[in-house]
Amino acid sequence: MRAFPLLSRISLSALLLAGLLTGCAQNGLDFSVSDLPPGDPARGAELFAEPPGGAPCAHCHSLDGERGVGPSLAGYGERAAREVGGQNAEEYTFEAILRPSKHIVRGYSNTMPDSYEDTLTRQNIADLIAYLLSQ
C-alpha cells in the first residue's frame, strides 16, 4: 500500500498540469484585448516615447519608415490586420506588445523586451494600441 500515496500524488500533479494548460489562454495572459478599456491615441503617443518602467518603444521603432532595431511603424494601422491570419489588428498589436516572441516580424530578430506585461497597465496597452493603429 506504500505505492498508493505516491501514485495518487503523481496523478494529482498530472491533473493539475492538464488543468493549467487547458485553463490558460494560448498566450498565457489572463486577459485579452476585449478586456481593455477604450484607448486614447494622444496618451498612447506619450507612452510610445516613455512607457512606465519599460524600454521606450521609440528607441527601436521609428514612425517615418526608417529601419531601426525594430520595424518602422509607419503605415502600421494599414498592415496590422494582415500580419497574422485569424487575428484582427487589435489582437495582433496586443500580442505584439505583450508576447513579442510569438510572432517575429520577417527580417527582424527576437529582441523586443517581453516585460511590458509587468510595467504597462491595461489602460496603457489600450492607449498604445489606439495610437499605433492610427499610424
**Residues 59-78 contacting ligand HEC, CB under 6 A:** 59-61, 69-71
Least distance in Å: CB of 93 to ligand HEC?
A: 5
Closer to ligand HEC by Cβ: residue 11 or 115 = 115
- In the shown chain, the binding pattern of residues 81 to 120 toward ligand HEC, with x for contact by CB under 6 A and - for none, equals --x---------x--xx--x--xxx--x-xxxx--x----
**Residues 35-64 contacting ligand HEC, CB under 6 A:** 51, 54-55, 57, 59-61
| Plot region of 31 (φ>0 → left; ψ -120 to 50 → alpha; else → beta) | beta
Least distance in Å: CB of 27 to ligand HEC?
A: 14
DSSP codes joined into one string, the chain:
-THHHHHHHHHHHHHHHHHHHHHS-TTS-SS-GGGSPPP-HHHHHHHHH--TTS--HHHH--SSS---SS---TTHHHHGGGSSTT--HHHHHHHHHH-GGGSPPTT--S-S-S-HHHH--HHHHHHHHHHHHT-
Closer to ligand HEC by Cβ: residue 39 or 51 = 51
Site residues for ligand HEC per CB under 6 A: 51, 54-55, 57, 59-61, 69-71, 83, 93, 96-97, 100, 103-105, 108, 110-113, 116, 128, 132
